[in-house]
Amino acid sequence: MAENSKPSNKKTLSLTGSVALGTGVMIGAGIFALVGQVAQLAAGWVPWAFFAGAMVVAFSSYSYIRYSAVNPSSGGVAMLLKGAYGPGVTAGTFSLFMYVSMILAESLLGRTFATYLLRPFGMQGSPLWVPVLAVAAIAAAALVNLVGNRWVEGSATVTAVIKIAGIALLAIAGIFAAGVSSLGRLFTAGGRTPPDQGWLGFLAGVTLCILAYKGFTTITNQGADLRNPERNIGRSIMIAIALCTVLYLLITVAVTGSLTVPEITKARDYALAEAAKPAFGSWGVTLTVVIAVVATLSGLIASLFSVSKLYDMLRDMGQAPGLPGKEGHQSLYITAGLAMALAAFFDLSQIASLGAILYLAMDIAVHAGVIFRLASDIRARTWIPWTAIALDVAVLLAFLAVKARSDLLTVLITVVVAAVITGTQWLMVRRRRSDDAHQDAGAKEAAGHARRDER
């Protein structure tokens, strides 16, 4: 392992802080913005779609846990891909897929923050104020990250408690308002509107649900800061996934019990605010807005912390460029800047689709690397990543089939983004190898001169 990937001797992040940062990334736009997006695909089967997403992510997490337990570092996914494929085009491309998908998640958080904040004023669809407030939220989260790790961990712990309690309150009140019998409908088809496109629509909806859980991968970037990372990375990931699963099931049961599918899809970007009305009345919207603002801002703070760590590793590995001058907070500036640009020019649906496709492509590459290159080194049982690949492929193909018919432009944009990333990596690797060859030639020439001088 490279020297810069070794865990630091100064461990500042506790298990509680790690779980808070992980859930901080996971519980945000994923649940506040995606319920309506998922309902467009999975209709009344939304709770099952979120449960299915949790099952897919549970299998996927195994590869990350096994590798991080043996090789904890701040690079996380980047180090896993490098270990599997070497420091070449493949590792760099899929590492940047992950990086870009996380930036897309940050822009999703920013736009969700803006949408909910503007909801009480009836301006949630403003083409001006939504991107303006989204950019402002990302900038504010970046400023918080400049304070340092301890402040980020402390704020993440406090806000995680607030939003978990707040979402649980909304969910439980919504379930009581809809009738406790709505919990029983989670396990039966009675009263639930099936997807228009059947199982294809359901699987496509599961693809978006995975976005609500994929923040667990940022926990693998905490290896250099987390105390006892060999044990605590895995524990943190499983606790975070379990917490989110329970909350997502409760809130989606409450939403689908309070609103019809057409009502959910009409308010797709702020469905939780609409679902709070039957339980809390007119001030339910305000309560939901407060919780959403805390959730999205804390999610941005946690995500910028973790994703900047990933970019640090990519830059050190020569797979991503840096800014001229001293390093300082380069990774934070680059990450926040890209997230602001995406938040300004893409809507929630486009951001979610781009992020889901890139993430699943990267996830498949991770599992393939574990199966064919790393299994013996990290003592992994290959049937689990094989299952993860099968699940990833099933939901990704369904999502692409649905999107190709309803939103071909987003699919084409994703293809272009993937091609640009791959081409850039090929050029960077070629340049790096050329520089290494020149350095080797220079060293040999210098050695030759030295021998001649000795004679």
DSSP string spanning 57-113?
HHHHHHHHHHHHHHS--S-THHHHHHHHH-SSHHHHHHHHHHHHHHHHHHHHHHHHH
Mean pLDDT of 231-238: 91
- Confidence at 8, pLDDT banded by 50, 70, 90: very low
What's the pLDDT tens digit per position in 408-454? Answer: 999 999 999 999 999 988 888 887 777 666 665 555 566 665 656 66
Q: Which domain holds residue 246?
A: 3-403
| Mean pLDDT estimate for the chain | 83
Please state which of the ranges 242-256, 288-302, 362-376 shows the lowest mean pLDDT: 288-302
pTM above 0.75, yes or no: yes
Please state which of the ranges 10-19, 51-60, 106-115, 251-260 shows the lowest mean pLDDT: 10-19
The answer to the question of residue 37 being in a domain is yes
- Yes or no: say if 347 and 413 are a contact pair by the CB < 8 Å rule: no
Residues facing residue 13 across a β-bridge: 226
- Yes or no: say if 33 and 303 are a contact pair by the CB < 8 Å rule: no
The answer to the question of residue 168 being in a domain is yes
- Yes or no: say if 242 and 250 are a contact pair by the CB < 8 Å rule: no
The answer to the question of residue 222 being in a domain is yes
The answer to the question of residue 433 being in a domain is no
The answer to the question of residue 425 being in a domain is no
185-to-182, 226, 249 alpha-carbon distances in Å: 5, 41, 12
Cα distance between residue 183 and residue 237, in whole Å: 27
| Domain count across the chain | 1
Cα distance between residue 199 and residue 210, in whole Å: 17
Cα distance between residue 203 and residue 398, in whole Å: 6
Q: State what percent of residues in the chain have pLDDT above 90.
A: 36
What's the pLDDT tens digit per position in 258-309? Answer: 888 888 888 877 888 888 877 777 777 888 888 888 888 887 887 787 788 7
The answer to the question of residue 448 being in a domain is no
Q: Helices 77-85 and 283-316 sit at what angle, rounded to 10 degrees?
A: 40
407 has a pLDDT exceeding 60: yes
Cα distance between residue 137 and residue 143, in whole Å: 10
Residue 2 confidence (pLDDT): 42
For residue 160, what is the domain's CATH number? 1.20.1740.10
The answer to the question of residue 208 being in a domain is yes
Residue 75 confidence (pLDDT): 57
In 3D, which of 281, 295, 258, 289 has the Cα closest to residue 122? 289
Specify the amino acid at residue 245: T
4 has a pLDDT exceeding 60: no
Cα distance between residue 176 and residue 168, in whole Å: 12
243 has a pLDDT exceeding 70: yes
Cα distance between residue 213 and residue 54, in whole Å: 7
Euclidean distance between the first and the last CA atom of the chain, given in angstroms as a whole number: 40
133 has a pLDDT exceeding 80: yes
- Confidence at 156, pLDDT banded by 50, 70, 90: low
Residue 304 confidence (pLDDT): 86
In 3D, which of 281, 275, 282 has the Cα closest to residue 254? 275
Residue 137 confidence (pLDDT): 95
The answer to the question of residue 384 being in a domain is yes
Mean pLDDT of 148-164: 69
Residue 368 confidence (pLDDT): 97
- The pair phi, psi for residue 407, each rounded to 5°, is -150, 65
Mean pLDDT of 207-223: 85
Specify the amino acid at residue 418: A
The sign of the CA dihedral 28, 352, 206, 61 is negative
1 has a pLDDT exceeding 50: no
Cα distance between residue 142 and residue 297, in whole Å: 10
316-to-6, 309, 310, 322, 379 alpha-carbon distances in Å: 13, 11, 10, 9, 27
